[in-house]
Amino acid sequence: MTPSSFVKLDGVAKRWNGQLGVEGISLDIPEGSFTALLGPSGCGKSTTLRLLAGLELPDEGTISIDGKDVTTSAASDRNLSMVFQSYALFPHLSVAENVVFGLKVRRVSKKERQVKLHRALEITGLLGYERRKPGELSGGQRQRVALARAIVAGQRLCLMDEPLSNLDAKLRNAVRKDIKKLQRDLGITVVYVTHDQTEAMSMADTVVLMKDGHIQQIGSPDDLYSRPNNTFVAEFVGAPPMALIDATAFASVFDNSATVGIRAENIQIVPSGQGRLRCVVTESEFLGAETLIGLDHAGASGLCVLKPGLAMVAEGSEIDIDFQDESLHVFDADGQRLTG
């Protein structure tokens, strides 16, 4: 087995009472990488993770971890750890007992347990909290306990199911960096489920974007942002997302294209009469370093433009915009990308 596929999913499908769960999931995850499963609610990303964890068994396909076929293995035989969205801490056990629970179950000696516990708490900055109960900790601290529990056993694969979704925005940013650093320092392989594209884009080496149980695109954050496979990816990734314009709305140079996409940063406001599209301003949103101006045009959706600094434009006023052909993304009638 080459190191290029530490975790391998091949044609995995899971259905519930005939309803679609996930279908045709094939993934290769190299060791030591950070993979994010991204997608809207109900897209099957959590299901994929649970299949990987062994909490669900697939109806089709095979799963292997570290060269071992684990398709039907019990969760405990897969040598992985998991961080749950709710943290799933045992409320009656102290922080220390929570962290070493798995070690105790696996009959690790008391001395070794102490050493590993100390190290895990040190890494997660929880020293001094050993005797607290989860109920006496803040959300961020509980989250770190869950992390400590996941890393204490030294498993090489760690699954995380939206671990940051219960934290407030500021804490989320801090913990995001912590998790990324932790993953690098320990050299573990992380599969991370999130619906927040910022998380996925900023942390992951590889992003797997899913929708309705199918994988839409697998690639680096840059791939997803700069070369979206289809209009769904284009509209999901990026803030603001890519604007889609009906190809007939302006003099197009592309053959058989149905839709073209363009990112806000590639649009320029030009003096009246010199642009390729004339739009109506619907809103101006001041973001600090720049102002996001929402535009409305009959043949386009999600059109907006960024202006540096505070630059509010009156609602309802008409402005002309221009863009270069090179910065356009071209999609066919089915929404698939046409050219590189």
Does residue number 160 form part of the binding site for other proteins (CB under 8 A)? Answer: no
- The piece of 21-29, 78-86, 137-145, 164-172 that touches other proteins (CB under 8 A) is 78-86
Q: How far is the CB of 101 from other proteins (least distance, A)?
A: 6
Task: Please give the structure tokens belonging to residue 22.
Answer: 């996930």
Whose Cβ is closer to other proteins: residue 88's or residue 270's?
88
From CA 140, how far away is CA 61, in angstroms rounded? 37
Does residue number 53 form part of the binding site for other proteins (CB under 8 A)? Answer: yes
55, 186, 292, 313: which one binds other proteins (CB under 8 A): 55
Whose Cβ is closer to other proteins: residue 8's or residue 78's?
78
Does residue number 86 form part of the binding site for other proteins (CB under 8 A)? Answer: yes
Whose Cβ is closer to other proteins: residue 164's or residue 321's?
164
Question: What values do phi and psi take at 150, rounded to 5?
Answer: -75, -30
Q: What is the DSSP letter of 283?
A: E
Q: Where are the beta strands (DSSP E) in the chain?
A: 7-16, 19-29, 34-38, 60-65, 68-69, 80-83, 157-161, 189-194, 206-211, 214-219, 243-246, 259-262, 268-270, 277-286, 290-296, 300-301, 304-308, 318-322, 329-331
Q: How far is the CB of 140 from other proteins (least distance, A)?
A: 19
Residue entry with tokens 């434009």? 313
Reduced to 3 DSSP states, what percent helix, strand and coil does the chain have, rounded to the nearest 5?
30, 30, 40
Q: What is the DSSP letter of 40?
A: S
Q: Is the peptide bond before 240 cis (omega within 30 degrees of 0)?
A: yes
Does residue number 239 form part of the binding site for other proteins (CB under 8 A)? Answer: no
- What number of H helices and E strands is found in the chain? 8, 19
Whose Cβ is closer to other proteins: residue 86's or residue 282's?
86
Q: How far is the CB of 146 from other proteins (least distance, A)?
A: 9
Q: How far is the CB of 135 from other proteins (least distance, A)?
A: 7
Query: Binders of other proteins among 124-153, rule CB under 8 A?
Result: 133, 135, 149, 153
Q: Where are the beta strands (DSSP E) in 71-180?
A: 80-83, 157-161
Q: How far is the CB of 137 from other proteins (least distance, A)?
A: 14
Does residue number 108 form part of the binding site for other proteins (CB under 8 A)? Answer: no
Total residues at interface with other proteins (CB under 8 A): 23
Whose Cβ is closer to other proteins: residue 32's or residue 102's?
102
13, 75, 108, 270: which one binds other proteins (CB under 8 A): 75
Whose Cβ is closer to other proteins: residue 62's or residue 85's?
85
Ordered DSSP codes for 288-312? SSEEEEEEE-TTEES-EEEEESS--
Instruction: Please report, as ranges, the residues that interact with other proteins according to CB under 8 A.
Output: 53-55, 74-76, 80-82, 84, 86, 88, 90-92, 101-102, 105-106, 133, 135, 149, 153
